[in-house]
Amino acid sequence: MRQLNLLVAEAQALGANAAEIAIDPAVGEVARILQICNACRYCEGFCAVFPAMTRRLTFSPSDIHYLANLCHNCGACLHACQYAPPHEFGVNVPQSMAVVRKETYIEYAWPRALGALYRKNGITLVLASSLALIFFLILTLALNGSLMSPSVNGNFYAVFSHNTLAYLFSATFLFAVLALGIGVRNFWQNISPGGMGSTSLVASAEAAHDALTLKYLGGGHGEGCNNADDGFSLWRKRFHHYTFYGFGLCFAATSVATLYHYVFGWQAPYAILSLPVILGTVGGVGLVIGPLGLLYLNFTRAEQHGDASQKPMDRGFILLLLLISISGLLLLAYRETAAMAILLAVHLGFVMAFFLTMPYSKFAHGVYRVAALLKNSIEKRQANNLMLGSE
């Protein structure tokens, strides 16, 4: 134990030096902590972060950005660490990683000036943008005299034409994809300077598996994450699954409906038992259960498990998903009533706000995390010349 403490003390000194030369204090703090972790290595089997850490002797800002996005913030290492607060070394990997992770979204955002929205993308911004769009759509309906029109048999295109909706949402969706794509490209080029060689099918498949199964929300032992205290729970992983696959099913419903319209010439509205409606309904239910659960966990999560300044962004994103799903299910339930036009305007306003803010919201964390998982899958198949950890 004495020898280990000496090693940790030496690592802390190295980390302090890293903090001094780092431009960003948050990056320097992670460098300090990782030097200590590299000397101890008790948590090496917990998640992908610690084996990736042992492949390095020093930590550049790009290394830290990569490791911060590889971290899933499960909290297991914090409660296993003998050097966690109140110890003088003050090792808190989840919290320090969360601070840097948010900064990566800001740094790699495109356009760069809009990266500041990550600091402000909270409930107020989400509601303000959504309500502004809803007000605009309702005003348009009122001016057209169709705000409280009688039932049109659930035909949304009798309220807003198909071409209007297609052009409007195609533009916002393509912008979101472009902004996120450029952002993650910038991130990848920074964490993998000069490239990483060929990406094997096996490495890509493993990264996809780890992302889709949320492997690293198991806490390194399969018992789950820490939330309010040091107790383990799988509910964070489960609510993430409800949210992710609920969103995927809703996207699939839209894709199938687009296929029906343009390929088969089948016009909306579709029957209750049609594939688009079934997919959208099941996805919508998932997008109610998941965000409600995540919102509860966010409010009860201990501050030591993450960055408190990131909570407004998290809550804004979760709330917007919840409002989209609830308004969508209400629209389906009342689509053949006179309230359909207003409900459609409300739902479209929330959806449009989601797409416009998507590149600068918590949605980006999934994209950056997949990139980090891919780098990890490639990197661990390469020779470890440092010989500091098992592969």
Please, which residues have CB within 8 angstroms of residue 107's CB and are 6 or more apart in sequence?
A: 65, 115
The pTM for the full model equals: 0.87
Structure tokens at 200: 């094997």
Structure tokens at 64: 């830290």
Residue 196 has what pLDDT?
A: 57
| Euclidean distance between CA atoms 148 and 342, whole angstroms | 8
Residue 390 has what pLDDT?
A: 45
Residue 275 has what pLDDT?
A: 96
| Euclidean distance between CA atoms 378 and 84, whole angstroms | 31
Task: List the chain pLDDT tens, one digit each, 391 residues.
Answer: 544 554 444 445 444 444 444 458 999 999 999 999 999 989 988 899 999 999 998 899 999 999 999 999 999 999 999 999 999 999 999 999 999 999 999 999 999 888 888 877 778 888 888 999 999 888 888 877 767 666 667 788 888 888 888 888 889 999 999 999 999 999 999 998 766 556 688 999 999 999 999 999 988 788 899 998 889 999 999 999 999 999 999 999 999 999 999 999 998 889 999 999 999 999 999 999 999 999 999 999 998 888 887 888 899 999 999 999 999 999 999 998 888 999 999 999 999 999 999 999 999 999 999 999 999 999 988 877 665 444 4
Residue 57 has what pLDDT?
A: 87
